[in-house]
Structure 1
Amino acid sequence: GHFKDSEKLAQTIQAAIRGSYRLSKLQQDSVNVILGLLAREIRNLEKMIKEIDKAIEDMVETIPEYQCLTSRPGVGKVYAAGIIAEIGQIERFK
Structure 2
Amino acid sequence: MRIGKVIGTVVATQKTERLKGAKLLIVQELTVEAQPTSTFVVCMDAVGAGYGDVVLTCAGSSARLTSVTETAPVDATIIGIVDTVERDGEVVFQKGAEA
TM range (shorter): under 0.3
TM-score (normalizing by structure 1):
0.20
- Decide which structure has greater strand share: 2
Flag the structure with more relative contact order, 1 or 2, with Cα contacts below 8 A and sequence separation at least 6.
2
TM-score computed with the length of structure 2 as normaliser = 0.20
